[in-house]
Amino acid sequence: MYGYGYGYGYYGFDWTYILLIIGMLLSLAASARLKSTFSYYRKIRSASGLTGAETAERILRAAGITDVHVRAISGSLTDHYDPRTKRLALSQDVYGRTSVAAVCVAAHECGHAIQHNINYAPLNIRSAIVPVANIGSSLSWPIFLLGLILSIPALTTVGIVLFSLAVLFQLVTLPVEFNASSRALKMLESTGILSREENKGAKKVLTAAALTYVAALASSILQLLRLLILSGGRRRDD
């Protein structure tokens, strides 16, 4: 009967798009909260007067790490730590700024450097699955759609498996990010870079950042659910 199959409802409306919309709204809400929180604490100067770069250098020294290089990169909220090159990259809003936001973002990236230094298992697992996760992200939908169009269940299954690898990567990312933030807050207080009161603001910034990863995972799970529904609907039609 027209209007059914492929996960569709009446008049050919694909109700599974609702799952995509929910995921998109979650991601947009998390991103908006992060930008708002970061913008607020970017205007508040830390009592220590240390820049993001100086914060990173101090935390790395306190952790006994001497082989990680801190450098500036362009963009906003593009900060990251690269375990392959042992480079800690800080964005323009962080590297030379003395705000609470800049300090806590720099500390968070140091948290990743510390994880790498102690062979933190979830970080190693995430690094190991990056190649297959990238393949899953780029090829899952084309293969899945090809399977639907050609009515080849094996291809749709391959597409679902590939997308599951991308979801797995985001799942493993959560403990890595939460742990890095926890280490950052402890180091900021133990080194005296931020006061206990300032640390409350830092926690808000890092919590907002962590929620973007939670939203991304939720969005991906919803997309995976959509793939399963569409695949199941097609098989029932066959």
pTM of the model: 0.87
Q: What is the mean pLDDT of residues 114-135?
A: 95
Query: Per-residue pLDDT for 176 more than 70?
Result: yes
Across the chain, mean pLDDT equals 91
Asked if residue 169 lies in contact with residue 140, where contact means CB atoms within 8 angstroms, the answer is: no
Active site residues: 109
